[in-house]
């Protein structure tokens, strides 16, 4: 009933009784799941990097960043890529929040236009902050 604890070389008695192993009820009423069998988190999955998605996205971002830098100025390949990818995110955010879209009749040109618009905003915001 009592549990002994060693504190500073002397034994102290605790009024806490040891707990029995915990069990949980399963969806099936005739089965009890032991604590060792319970998984709280989903099984670990590896981060799926699909290069068939990443490479075109970076290439598209670089091109849109280059077009935006032609309009408002700027330079550097890495800067074009970063500004273009951020511009794609900003352009999609503007399209979702406001409902504004470029209507050219071609989905690729619509997305490119919104990405260039977002990249221009990113460049102007970066210049304003700096």
Give the model confidence (pLDDT) of 76-97 as tens digits.
888 888 899 999 999 888 888 8
Query: In the chain, how many domains are there?
Result: 1
Q: What is the pTM of this model?
A: 0.58
Give the number of C-alpha atoms closer than 13 A to the C-alpha of residue 103, restricted to the C-beta side. 2
Lowest mean pLDDT among 4-13, 33-42, 77-86: 4-13
Give percent of the chain with pLDDT exceeding 70. 65
Domain membership of residue 118 (yes or no) is: yes
Domain membership of residue 125 (yes or no) is: yes
Lowest mean pLDDT among 20-24, 39-43, 50-54, 56-60: 20-24
Alpha carbons 45 and 42: distance in angstroms, whole number: 9
pLDDT of 2:
46
Query: Where in the sequence is the domain holding 86, given as residue range(s)?
Result: 51-129
Strands (E), the chain: 3-7, 10-14, 23-25, 32-34
Domain membership of residue 4 (yes or no) is: no
pLDDT band at 1 (very low <50, low <70, confident <90, very high): very low
pLDDT band at 120 (very low <50, low <70, confident <90, very high): very high
DSSP 88: H
Lowest mean pLDDT among 12-16, 37-41, 56-60, 79-83: 12-16
| Per-residue pLDDT tens digits for 46-74 | 666 778 878 888 889 889 989 998 899 87
């Amino acid at each position: 009933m009592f549990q002994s604890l060693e504190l500073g070389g002397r034994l102290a008695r605790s009024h806490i009784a040891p707990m029995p192993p915990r069990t949980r009820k399963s969806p099936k009423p005739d089965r009890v799941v032991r604590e060792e069998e319970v998984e709280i988190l989903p099984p670990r999955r590896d981060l799926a990097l699909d290069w068939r998605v990443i490479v075109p996205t970076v290439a598209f971002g670089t091109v849109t960043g280059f077009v935006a830098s032609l309009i408002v100025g700027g330079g550097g390949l890495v800067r074009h890529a970063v500004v273009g990818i951020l511009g794609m995110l900003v352009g999609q955010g503007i399209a979702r929040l406001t409902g504004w879209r470029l209507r050219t009749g071609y989905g690729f040109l619509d997305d490119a236009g919104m990405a260039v618009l977002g990249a221009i905003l990113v460049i102007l915001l970066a210049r304003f902050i700096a």
